[in-house]
Structure 1
Amino acid sequence: MAQILILAALPEEADALFAGEGTKDEGPFAVRRLEAQGLALAIATCGLGKVNAALCAGALAGGADMLLMTGTCGSLGAAPGAYWIAEALQHDYGANQPGLFRRYRAGDWPIGEAGEAHFTAMADPGLGLPHARIASGDSFVACPDAAADLAALGATLVDMEVGAVAQVAWRLGKPWAAIKAVTDEANDASAGDFHANLVRAARAAAGEIERLLERL
């Protein structure tokens, strides 16, 4: 039976997936384990930010055949709804140069010519969701100027974790995918919008993850 590790930053995001099912382990990541659609699932609440996401993924991915991430994100011009994350990058990894922050793919040597900064997800199995590039970093983006800078990287969504999970999967040689749903527009209203829309968006992403699992 294939084993799938699913990460969510927040309890609301993890609990929305197969709500009320499975048994929960004691431990730092509140891992809920269950079998569904012929798969062995471990749903972990990793906590906010790239370090938490990478720590959780690295600690739990050993026996997993695939890493998935569910949850919420901010929009950099994308319409409301859920998105298939086709590419992920870490927007705060790179080199500070005079008048310029030059971005490199996380883990690459940040000197010299910079190639593509993103990690590519597994192929979309045909869910019909719009595709997006997400920019991940250890800050909650609630500023139109910062959002515009990230949009210039070709990103249409922003969060704090997917780029780190993608890096872990790449280092471990495992396929990864993520589905995220929009809570806010990365502007000065984002704090309130995030809290107002968290549960709704978490459920939207979880529903699409459940559809994805049916196709694996």
Structure 2
Amino acid sequence: MSDGILVLTALDSELDVERAPKGFRVVFTGVGKINTTIATLAAIVAEKPKLIVNYGTAGKLNSALHGLVEISDVIQRDMNAEPLAPRGTTPYSPELDRLTSGRDGFICGTGDSFVTSADPWLVANKVDVVDMELFAIAQVALRHDIPWRAFKFITDDANDAAHEHWTANVANGQDLFWDAMKGVRA
């Protein structure tokens, strides 16, 4: 397929590829920013999409959130090059500090760790949800001038029970996601 919608998600347990509508291609990236970057680049070369959509699970920091949420902005919660630059800032590349989809939504903090406790920096930066892939996807999309959107299904409260709740809820957002994709065009 060429010139369609590329859906990127980390794991096959999050999304049933058989449910993808015509014009949508689902690619599993694996967990974390490195795996996601590699898979996103390969998928862009192979698929030549007009739109990239990230679907994934997320822990919430904003207690008002539940179900499926759309993400407007993403930051790297684990970029910490102090003292060269403040946490969350990529040294010598300030254009990469905060990436935006151009849509209304919530703020996601991406990092290569599973969040299980409060982090004052995340609160201070108004991060609503945390994941492990979106920043990589958004950065590759930006570099290739491809618009992106992201939808996160809230599986847990990013606390000490997060791993149990994530495991129990990882597959529960599929219906909401596929419903949200009705009417989405590249």
Specify the TM-score bucket, using the shorter chain as the normaliser: 0.7 to 0.9
Q: How many residues align?
A: 181
Q: Which residue of 1 is the match for residue 73 of structure 2?
A: 87
- Where in structure 2 are the equivalents of 1:1-216 lying within 5 Å? 2-15=3-16, 19=19, 36=22, 40-62=23-45, 63-78=48-63, 79-97=65-83, 101-105=86-90, 109=92, 117-123=97-103, 131-144=105-118, 146=119, 148-208=120-180, 210-211=181-182, 214-216=183-185
Alpha-carbon separation, structure 2, partners of 1:122 and 1:58: 21
Give, as a single letter, the amino acid of the residue that structure 2 aligns with 1:207: D
Contact kept in structure 2, 1:7 and 1:70, CA below 8 Å: yes
Q: Percent identity?
A: 29
Alpha-carbon separation, structure 2, partners of 1:12 and 1:136: 20
How far does the alpha carbon of each residue in 1:124-171 deviate from its partner, in whole angstroms, 9 at most, with x for none?
5xxxxxx20100000000112x3x321221210000000110000111
Structure 1 counterpart SS, 2:173: helix
Contact kept in structure 2, 1:8 and 1:70, CA below 8 Å: yes
> Using a 3 Å threshold, how does the CA distance of structure 1 residues 2 and 122 change in structure 2: closer, same or farther?
farther
Normalising by structure 2, we get a TM-score of: 0.86
Give, as a single letter, the amino acid of the residue that structure 1 aligns with 2:7: I
Contact kept in structure 1, 2:41 and 2:140, CA below 8 Å: yes
Alpha-carbon separation, structure 2, partners of 1:142 and 1:101: 23
Give, as a single letter, the amino acid of the residue that structure 2 aligns with 1:121: S
Structure 1 counterpart SS, 2:81: strand
Normalising by structure 1, we get a TM-score of: 0.75
Alpha-carbon separation, structure 1, partners of 2:40 and 2:96: 23
Larger radius of gyration: 1
> What root-mean-square deviation, in Å, do the aligned CA atoms of Structure 1 and Structure 2 show?
2.3
Q: Which contiguous aligned blocks of 4+ residues in structure 1 show a shift greater than 6 angstroms? A: none
> Would you tell me which structure has more strand in proportion to its own residues?
1
How far does the alpha carbon of each residue in 1:44-97 deviate from its partner, in whole angstroms, 9 at most, with x for none?
111101111111111111311111111210001242121111001111124222
> Using a 3 Å threshold, how does the CA distance of structure 1 residues 202 and 150 change in structure 2: closer, same or farther?
farther
Structure 2 counterpart SS, 1:73: strand
Alpha-carbon separation, structure 2, partners of 1:207 and 1:12: 18
Give, as a single letter, the amino acid of the residue that structure 2 aligns with 1:151: V
Alpha-carbon separation, structure 1, partners of 2:123 and 2:139: 21
Question: 1:206 Cα deviation (Å)?
Answer: 3.6
User: Where does structure 1 lack aligned partners over 5 or more consecutive residues?
Assistant: 22-34, 125-130
How far does the alpha carbon of each residue in 1:74-124 deviate from its partner, in whole angstroms, 9 at most, with x for none?
0012421211110011111242229x952215xx516xxx67821010435
